[in-house]
Structure 1
Amino acid sequence: MNLFSEDEDWEAKLKPILRKYKGKKHPLEYQNTYQLLVMVILSAQDSDANINTIAPKLFEKYPTLKSISQTDIETFTSHITKVRNYTTKAQWILDIAKTIKEDANIPLTMSGLTALKGVGRKSANVILRETNKPAEGIIADLHVIRVAPRIGIIKESKDGNKVEKDLMQILPKNIWSEIGMAISFLGRETCRPKPKCIECLLADICLYYNTEVI
């Protein structure tokens, strides 16, 4: 395999996971863009499962950004104490609510989203994908950071922004919207830290499988 080359037809090689996961909803169990924004911020360095657990009561208490903007930091914080780094995240969310005030004002561009406190490129890419907006990058979560180099698309890096940049240089823009989540789902289900290679849809083109397993 001619690895790490822009000449590789990665769109064709990755088609099995694009077919399987295209349009599959993110594991965060949100109901609207407001909930998605809040849950994405809360999920940083935490698990989607944990955020899904605390979300129903949180959104029952605070059904809109406006309702958050009208509360105080101590009251809001008390509803998310089971979230990692909850004090910082509470301040971010309260600042966003007081700044943009209404759910309808949530920006749905990379520049608009990353201008919000607590929203980096990874989070913005998730929000853009889930709201069916044009992709301006590729989701590079912890699963993508692990799996993309293992497959052989890019060289290994622990820096999510570098992983995203490298993927954007290699993969065609027409698959940016879906490929990040497709690789992420593969990492969640099959290409775990201890991978289940026999079950993998990409085993035949995977660097790890073809050099380390067989």
Structure 2
Amino acid sequence: MTIDLFENSNHWVQKLEPILTKYKGRKHPLEYQNLYQLLVMVVLSAQDSDANINKIAPALFEVYPNIESIAVSNVDALFPYISMVRNFVTKANWLLEIAKTIQKDENIPLKMDGLIALKGIGRKSANVILRESKVPATGIIADLHVIRVAPRIGLISETKDGIKVEKQLLKVLPQNIWGEIGMSLSFLGRETCRPAPKCPECPIKEICNYYKKF
């Protein structure tokens, strides 16, 4: 890393400190109780809301308390418990394939390459699982909120591609904040930097390009 990039990275750490402090260690909005539940809920939440997944989860996990129980099930048996989830047919097949691959809860991988090798889990989902499991970050969560918020602030150039967003963030931010900055930006986007932003309430409005402009 060049000296200029190093200084720029540290400059951003200082600017983002208010949200890093505010949201540090806050649990993801998915109401999971263990790693197995987190894995399943992350898969189901793709293109759906966390609130909806939280709503259907208790009944699902009462019948399917672990990976083993899914591995011996089938799509027809799963459908009644996830039919309110967007793309539930596809996701049922993903969960069955994951369960048959992993077989047991203790076999759930906690490395990026192991997670993204599983059906239905991309880098965003893997980063969420690793962050919630307190594994040292090798990437940055780039969900739909981060995709909206990061360009607004001026951290990165605008793009709707989560992979490109993550790559830009990895270049501009130092590794020691990778584990928390994604969820910090996500929580900011959920609570304050909404599609119609509540700029006066924002703890980092003074460094935000969008706020300065409007």
Q: TM-score range by the shorter chain?
A: over 0.9
Q: How many residues align?
A: 208
Q: How does 1:154-169 map to 2 (within 5 A)?
A: 154-169=156-171
Matched with 1:88 is: 90
Q: What is the CA–CA distance in structure 1 between the aligned matches of 2:102 and 2:187, rounded to whole Å? A: 32
Task: For residue 14 of structure 1, give the secondary structure of its aligned residue in structure 2.
Answer: helix
State the partner residue of 1:54: 56
TM (normalized to structure 2)? 0.96
1:16 is matched with: 18
Deviations 1:168-207 (A, max 9, x none): 0000000000000000000000000010000000111001
Letter paired with 1:128: L
- Partner SS for 1:123: helix
Q: Please give the alpha-carbon distance, in whole angstroms, between the structure 2 residues aligned to 1:198 and 1:76.
A: 45
Matched residue, 2:138: 136
- Counterpart residue number, 2:31: 29
Q: Percent identity?
A: 67
Aligned equivalent of 2:200: 198
Between 111-120 and 65-74, report the one with greater CA deviation: 65-74
> Once the 2 structures are TM-superposed, how far is the Cα of residue 78 of structure 1 from its aligned partner?
2.1
Q: TM-score, normalised by structure 1?
A: 0.96
Describe the SS at the equivalent of 1:78. Answer: helix
Stretches of structure 2 lacking an aligned partner (at least 5 in a row): none
Task: Provide the residue aligned with 2:103 in structure 1.
Answer: 101
2-side partners of 1:72 and 1:141: how far apart?
Answer: 30
**What is the alpha-carbon distance in structure 2 between the residues aligned to residue 83 and residue 77 of structure 1?**
10
Q: Which structure 1 residue ranges, 4+ long, deviate > 6 Å from structure 2?
A: none
Choose 64-73 or 120-129, whichever is displaced more. 64-73
Query: How large is the RMSD of aligned CA atoms in angstroms?
Result: 0.9
Distance in 2 of aligned mates of 1:72 and 1:26? 29
- Paired letter, 1:174: N
1:12-57 Cα deviation digits (max 9, x unpaired): 1000000000100000000000000000000000000000000000
- The structural deviation recorded for 1:73 is 1.5
Q: Which amino acid aligns with 1:55?
A: A
CA displacement 1:144-182 (0-9 Å, x = unmatched): 000000000000000000000000000000000000000
Cα distance in structure 2, aligned partners of 1:35 and 1:161: 25
SS at 2:81 equivalent: coil
3-state SS of paired residue (1:44): coil
* Counterparts of 1:208 and 1:76, CA distance in 2: 45
Q: State the distance in 1 between where 2:55 and 2:146 align.
A: 24
